[in-house]
Chain A
């Protein structure tokens, strides 16, 4: 190669752009505020990313299988409200499995619609975003939900506890990432998720029962949402009906940032974890440099669009192209 051409630089940016941008962010934030790389701050970021991260793990399965899940935010509100309510009625030991069962039912319903009835996942989960929000409000009567005896319950361990000096939410996130990462990378089910997302027709022609795989991905997503709801409820021991509102977009942003393609068939759990951390650090950095939290909403969207652009650009091998 005689010289590095413009196209090659474009190609490199397209492939590694997210990491380059992330590195620039880190350098910039560190220069702007020394506290950014402080160990306490880093732990804080990971801890506050855990809920988002747990949800992103499940959505990774859905996205790789070639679908979307926009219902995770309002489903997480549902889980949180339900488990707080049942905590006082049934006690935590029964409340937790009851909440998981109810959330999984929602996931199964979505999985049935998208998998077996082959309805468009964007429409189905967008509809469910709204429907589940209504369900939550109906359940709670529109009231905030609080645990009566906040000081006397062991339920707070999931959100506030520590083990080996590490906050429990981080442990749950990492443990779940390890388990789901292994399932995705190493089991026959994981392989089928990639096949269905990569080319659903070819998967069917290879004897894979596509509907079943899609259904299972939505169950996986609902399970992760229930776990996130558990952490959320346990952390605050009280909640509004809208606690998960808007999270679906951040979750999607994290998954795409990690490099999963919205077209399906690519992505890994490890990359999603990276995506979650990138998003967490950028949001934290924005706060540390003194921007208001609502700037995050704008930035999150800019990041999503940037990530989608780079995803497409990587396929074309350059940043701009007249032919899609």
Chain B
């Protein structure tokens, strides 16, 4: 194989499902030692393409060529045997087993009588882990590892075969910035070993940092390939969504009203300590920090899901006690949770019922639910938030991530809260819906809501916030106005470096 033979090539892949042409003649190739980004909005066909590549779907037309030979993929195991390895977004590890057992699951080395050859297993595993420069060893229980380290285990699994191409599907979705650095090192190592890498992500900064070329899908069609060094975020976005996108910092300021929420000395055991902040009506306060900095835990405390060990919460100047989400909702505090599918929605329920769930007790005619009022509320917020669904009867589980998130937001807006807390508002949402949700958050502030936005994405925090609270290890390090904040001082603050300047 010469250097100009692609490690992996897809040619004219077509895949149709009843009613949908999910892939319409997609061609795509990755060279050995290249990091090739695959981008596209949710529903553009990336997942389907990867499922075809992994043998989970068979293409209706087109060829998959590994090295120089066309191949037929019959399933994930065969793909792996041919050197095509997937690192999935959602980890699939057995938590109770050790790192070594997970890595060699299904192919544990044996000795006589079919017993596991533990010595060989641990030796082989440690050899691989050494290449990855990780801090844990082969005997560690996977459940004891952080998400980032679990991902390293997935990667280690990929290294047990002679990989020709490795596909990373949204690998940084749950990683902190420091952990990303380690991941990128691993990718660079694979790259220098001549492995072709397909990198699927929504995050532009990463794409521009580590990839060589970017291929874009839209509506199941191949839209082109750009050299990363010679293109811009705007150009890529335009290719993805057919229009340009705003990535600037927030400059609009609304007239602020009174203090709606005030938090004084709030602590919760080891999770966070002595938190002081306030949010005014019409203001968006962004909470930025690393995963585990205590931001989500503060939100959960304000929403009655955790008991604070000290401190007080004041709403419109009056101290309140919040013992349950029901209490919080009654007081006018709403939470759009971090885990949309696990905490925000009942996926098997329809759109309307999900949206009206918190107020179903109040939407009654006699003893019965007033379905007419429910439909009216749904219609109102579907129009207001531009939720794209065939109708209220659609099960929420069938909607795209962006539309699901809008259902959750609509659910809380229809309750007319005083304070709206939004935790990771655009996690796993495609770039077009992202900016819609950002605009929506700004609009809500303009309408006088007090909004708290928790996010791990710096562009997002910069873009929506009037003020930014930087947290590190359970404490507020500093509070910035949108004029004083820079990328550098924000990163310093969330890394625990106390810089000169006003503290909290």
Contacts and interface: CB of A to CB of B under 8 A. Distances in A.
B358 A199 contact: no
Contact of B324 (A1, A182, A209): A209
Contacts of A198: 346-349
Residue from the set B345, B348, B363, B369 with the largest chain A CB neighbour count within 10 Å:
B348
B325 interface: yes
Contact of A186 (B18, B353, B361, B369): B369
Interface residues of A, number: 23
Interface in A185-223: 186-188, 190-192, 194-195, 198-199, 201-209
Nearest to B360: A188
A275 B307 CA distance: 45
B135 interface: no
13 contacts: A182-B368, A188-B360, A188-B364, A195-B353, A199-B342, A202-B343, A204-B325, A205-B344, A206-B325, A206-B357, A206-B411, A207-B328, A266-B348
A265 B345 CA distance: 13
Nearest to B303: A205
Contact of A191 (B325, B345, B357): B357
Given A205-B337, A206-B325, A209-B324, A199 B346 contact: yes
Given A187-B369, A188-B364, A205 B325 contact: yes
Given A188-B369, A209-B324, 19 more contacts: A186-B368, A188-B361, A191-B353, A194-B346, A194-B353, A195-B346, A199-B342, A199-B345, A199-B347, A201-B343, A202-B343, A202-B346, A203-B357, A206-B325, A207-B325, A207-B326, A207-B328, A208-B326, A265-B348
A245 to B, nearest CB: 35
A209 B361 CA distance: 12
A192 B360 contact: yes
Interface of A: 1, 182, 186-188, 190-192, 194-195, 198-199, 201-209, 265-266
B335 interface: yes
Which 3 pairs from chain A and chain B are nearest by CB? A198-B346, A207-B329, A207-B326
Contacts of A203: 346, 357
B18 A202 contact: no
B156 to A, nearest CB: 23
A202 B337 CA distance: 9
B270 interface: no
B269 interface: no
Residue from the set B344, B345, B360 with the largest chain A CB neighbour count within 10 Å:
B360
Contacts of B324: 207, 209
B501 interface: no
B390 interface: no
